[in-house]
Structure 1
């Protein structure tokens, strides 16, 4: 099977099966700090199992080479994982639904999105996704995820007969 993934714009509606889009554009807010700050409240939920704790990290990523063959996806069964760009650069996402909990991904369900530098994402627990896909070298992302006991990262490698690729416009 050979499939080139169409890169879709990242919208709240299109990304809903995979998680939350973290952005202020078009979202409700309320005023805090004596009226000097707009609070865009609960744009995503940190999902944790009962043994984990939420942690905040910075990831510094290099740009991958395109066209890119998607060979693997990962998931975090015990907690959600959020990526928020710190330098305001666009980045790519490749995702597949949670599925039935097995270690299998239907290639027909894999989708690609382009996030603007003003959008972050929160992958829900168990959502398959490609590791960070920066579009510039040394790009940085604020990452909120889970720390705690257990293996919180499953990896799925596609059979070599399956070729999923991404080409930049």
Structure 2
């Protein structure tokens, strides 16, 4: 018998702090029961810490607007950023984030891959080296706020637009997997 095997299916699960922990940190957690000194609540406003963002360099944090348009459930490529955390916060709709950790050689470990539904009012902050792919839940696009390292953005643009070698990121092909929404 010849041909290709069926694509692996990965169920899309709700975003929870515990489920996302192997890949980074969930953003959008409620006001803490035992707030730290940076938390404040008042009838007019509340604010509280979600995460201390680390770029891994003095280049600084960059805030990006990102439009995700790909809503296809099939994923054939993953990317990772080697030196910086990266945060994604959906603004105009929900996204699905496929995540994977790395084997010892740095390649994606698809055995533990997971997909998360991230709705507006939630977000994620991925660890450096976390493999990922993002899909818009709806067409034509979902706009997100992203925090990343400025040099990582410039490096990725040079790679994607001009074919220069990526130094701060990696993009690899993976066996096709299908993201499947659960009800």
Structure 2 alignment gaps of length 5 or more: 156-166
1:7 CA drift (Å): 1.1
Per the normalisation by structure 1, the TM-score is: 0.82
- Superposition map of 1:83-162 within 5 A: 83-87=88-92, 89-100=93-104, 102-130=105-133, 132-136=134-138, 137-148=140-151, 151-158=167-174, 162=175
1:69 CA drift (Å): 2.0
CA contact (8 A) 2:102 2:109 kept: no
Higher Rg: 2
Q: 1:85 to 1:27 in 2, by over 3 A?
A: farther
Please state which structure has a larger fraction of its residues in strand: 2
Please state which structure has a larger fraction of its residues in helix: 2
Q: 1:6 to 1:145 in 2, by over 3 A?
A: same
Q: CA RMSD in A?
A: 2.2
1:15 CA drift (Å): 0.3
CA contact (8 A) 1:75 1:154 kept: yes
1:5 CA drift (Å): 0.4
Structure 1 alignment gaps of length 5 or more: none
Cα distance in 2 between the residues matched to 1:72 and 1:27:
37
The alignment partner of 2:18 has SS state of helix
